[in-house]
């Protein structure tokens, strides 16, 4: 039989309906499936990008009939469609058509016999509902199950590709817990899969404005000539959340903000912002340039260039907010960080000497994901009689969420007889120019997996490069008793100590408010 290395399956052009396939979701009874995956599949069906002969098999440990599973998903999608952020009523015909193509298989993820039953179920679906052997296996499960499920799929022959059909596996984050565990997981997956069969999911990259970073840079000649150390003073990347740990303490206590957000979400934004122009938008061309950026990041001094924090009791809009240690399931002596800030540099010709400041945290003042490109100040000789601090540097702000768009800030003369300079904001809001289609952020990524486009999925070397940057910081926090854990009030802008990363060089964070 031909191996995965020898078999090539033709990619489908973007915008065309995805090819016939079956999706198998492990963890089908879980929160991710009902809140995000099924609504995303419905949106693909509504826009007629989902295959006409599509089938979905949900796999989980709970005993459930096909009818009960469909009812469970129907309730979830109707709640999703009534959400205030969702602009269109449920399309009953498309939803009913999708719903009848959904079935359920009870099985324990560690039980080899369950994979035999899955093989039989796939054969049944192949005979009755779909016209191909193409299968997407989606691992919507805890990270501890990833390797074992893929091992069982391999042993059961379920991921062996033939000319008649491809087999792809989508792996949710977090991919590993450290650089060593990420390497070990990669090695385990590669026992059963070829690299091009592995789609490492980071749903953040499914957001339109994240993808627009590349387009804004490379499709507009006014930006790219300025995108270097000659014109840019520094770059800030912020991913701030207003929610606390909520019901995820069991996961979060062993993970923390660094592992949860930085090697994936934050570093993907860094890579897209700092990468060199790829030779094309082909998957490997883009992913190779992103990996080069991460490999060029110099080793961070964990003691002086990183800050970790944990939120304490605070308030927002007059409402009292609990501290992290008061959250259900969190130890009273927990040292898990809920906030991370760091300063790093990219050691290449384009970015030499330009600092990148990164921060992410929970229970902060405002939900905001944005990238601030701050340009250098102009020579001040013309403005001797003007307070130099009033000459705010030009900045380009790429707003990723919740208000997607971009803003350009520059100085202009204030009307009057004196030379006074005021700041002007030119704002672009995505919703003002383009109709925002209802989206969970997963539609693009699921569709891309079905058509064989891995551009927005992380490659193994990209994952390892990210872990290599943060591992020394994690080791310092874990092993040095003197490593500080700062505190910040819930509802604030994060740890005050993070300001020191910028203040020593006359800079400051852009306010969230």
If one compares 296 and 423, the residue with the highest pLDDT of the two is: 296
pLDDT tier, 475 (very low <50, low <70, confident <90, very high otherwise): very high
Q: Would 17 be classed as within a structural domain?
A: no
Instruction: Encode 379-413: b = buried (16+ Cβ within 10 Å), e = exposed.
Output: eeeebeeeeeeebebbbbbbbbbeebbbbbbebee
What's the average model confidence in pLDDT over 300-308?
Answer: 95
What's the average model confidence in pLDDT over 186-202?
Answer: 95
The per-residue pLDDT for 216 is 84
Q: What is the pLDDT of residues 376-429, one digit of tens each?
A: 987 765 656 665 555 678 999 999 888 888 899 887 777 777 666 777 888 988
96/217 same-domain check:
no
262/380 same-domain check:
yes
Mean pLDDT of the chain: 90
Q: Would 9 be classed as within a structural domain?
A: no
286/393 same-domain check:
yes
147/226 same-domain check:
no
Q: What predicted TM-score, i.e. pTM, was given to this entire model?
A: 0.90
Q: Would 323 be classed as within a structural domain?
A: yes
Q: What range does the domain containing 260 cover?
A: 205-503
77/134 same-domain check:
yes
Kindly state the DSSP code that residue 280 receives in the 8-state scheme: S
Of 184, 201, 218, the residue that ends a domain is 201
213/191 same-domain check:
no
Residue 265 among the catalytic residues: yes
Q: What is the number of domains present in the chain?
A: 2
pLDDT tier, 310 (very low <50, low <70, confident <90, very high otherwise): very high
Q: What is the pLDDT of residues 8-29, one digit of tens each?
A: 777 777 778 999 999 999 999 9
* Tokens at 43, concatenated: 């949106």
183/127 same-domain check:
yes
| Segments in 82-221 forming alpha helices (H) | 92-99, 112-128, 146-155, 179-190, 208-218
246/303 same-domain check:
yes
What's the average model confidence in pLDDT over 477-484?
Answer: 94
pLDDT tier, 435 (very low <50, low <70, confident <90, very high otherwise): low
Q: Would 497 be classed as within a structural domain?
A: yes
The per-residue pLDDT for 84 is 46
Q: Would 15 be classed as within a structural domain?
A: no
Q: Which of 265, 298, 425, 429 is catalytic?
A: 265
The per-residue pLDDT for 2 is 38
The per-residue pLDDT for 141 is 94
Q: Is the pLDDT of residue 337 over 70?
A: yes
Calpha distance 183→464 (Å, rounded): 7
Kindly state the DSSP code that residue 220 receives in the 8-state scheme: -
pLDDT tier, 85 (very low <50, low <70, confident <90, very high otherwise): very low
Dihedral angle computed from the Cα positions of residues 156, 168, 18 and 12, in that order, rounded to the nearest 10 degrees: -130
213/350 same-domain check:
yes
How does DSSP assign 157-181, residue by residue? TTT--BTTB-EEEEEPSP--SSHHH
Q: What is the pLDDT of residues 219-257, one digit of tens each?
A: 888 888 999 999 999 999 999 999 999 888 888 998 999
Calpha distance 327→177 (Å, rounded): 23
480/353 same-domain check:
yes
């Amino acid at each position: 039989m031909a191996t995965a290395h020898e078999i090539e399956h033709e990619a489908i052009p973007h915008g065309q309906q995805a090819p016939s396939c079956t999706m198998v979701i492990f963890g089908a009874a879980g929160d991710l499936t009902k809140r995000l995956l099924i609504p995303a599949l419905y949106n693909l069906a509504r826009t007629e990008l989902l295959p006409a002969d599509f089938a979905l098999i949900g796999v989980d440990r709970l005993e459930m009939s096909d009818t009960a599973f469909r009812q469970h998903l129907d309730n979830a999608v109707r709640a999703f469609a009534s959400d205030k952020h969702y602009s269109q009523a449920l399309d009953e015909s498309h939803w009913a058509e999708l719903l009848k193509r959904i079935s359920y298989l009870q099985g324990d993820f560690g039980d080899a016999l369950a994979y035999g039953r899955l093989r039989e179920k796939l054969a049944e679906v192949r005979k009755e509902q779909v016209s191909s052997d193409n299968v997407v296996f989606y691992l919507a499960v805890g990270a501890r199950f990833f390797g074992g499920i893929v091992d069982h799929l391999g042993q059961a022959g379920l991921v062996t590709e033939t000319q008649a059909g491809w087999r792809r596996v989508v792996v949710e984050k977090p991919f590993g817990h450290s650089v060593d565990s990420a390497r070990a997981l990669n090695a385990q997956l590669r026992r059963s899969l070829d690299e091009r069969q592995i789609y490492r999911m980071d749903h953040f990259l499914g957001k339109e404005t994240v993808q627009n970073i590349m387009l804004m840079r490379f499709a507009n000649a006014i930006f790219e000539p300025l995108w270097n150390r000659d014109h840019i003073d520094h770059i800030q990347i912020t991913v701030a959340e207003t929610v606390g740990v909520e019901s995820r303490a069991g996961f979060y206590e062993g993970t923390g903000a660094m592992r949860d957000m930085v090697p994936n979400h934050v570093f993907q934004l860094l890579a897209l912002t700092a990468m060199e122009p790829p030779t094309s938008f082909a998957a490997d061309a883009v992913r190779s340039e992103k990996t080069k950026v991460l490999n060029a990041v110099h080793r961070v001094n964990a003691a002086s260039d990183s800050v970790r924090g944990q939120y304490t009791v605070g308030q927002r809009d007059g409402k009292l907010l609990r501290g992290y240690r008061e959250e259900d399931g969190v130890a009273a002596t927990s040292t898990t960080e809920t906030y991370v800030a760091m300063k790093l540099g990219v050691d290449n010709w384009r970015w030499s000497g330009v600092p990148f400041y990164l921060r992410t945290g929970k229970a902060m003042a405002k939900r905001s994901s944005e990238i601030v490109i701050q340009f250098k100040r102009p020579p001040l000789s013309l403005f001797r009689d003007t307070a130099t601090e009033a000459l705010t540097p030009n900045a380009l702000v790429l707003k990723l969420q919740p208000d997607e768009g971009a803003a350009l800030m520059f100085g202009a003369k204030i009307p009057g007889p004196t030379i006074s300079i005021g700041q002007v904001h030119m704002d672009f809001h995505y919703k003002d120019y383009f109709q925002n289609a209802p989206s969970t952020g997963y539609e693009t990524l699921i569709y891309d997996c079905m058509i064989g486009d891995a551009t927005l999925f992380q490659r193994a070397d990209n994952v390892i490069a990210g872990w290599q940057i943060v591992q020394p910081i994690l080791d310092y926090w874990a092993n040095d008793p003197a490593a500080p854990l700062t505190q910040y009030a819930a509802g604030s802008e994060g740890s005050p100590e993070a300001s020191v990363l910028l203040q020593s060089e006359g800079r400051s964070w852009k306010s969230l408010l």
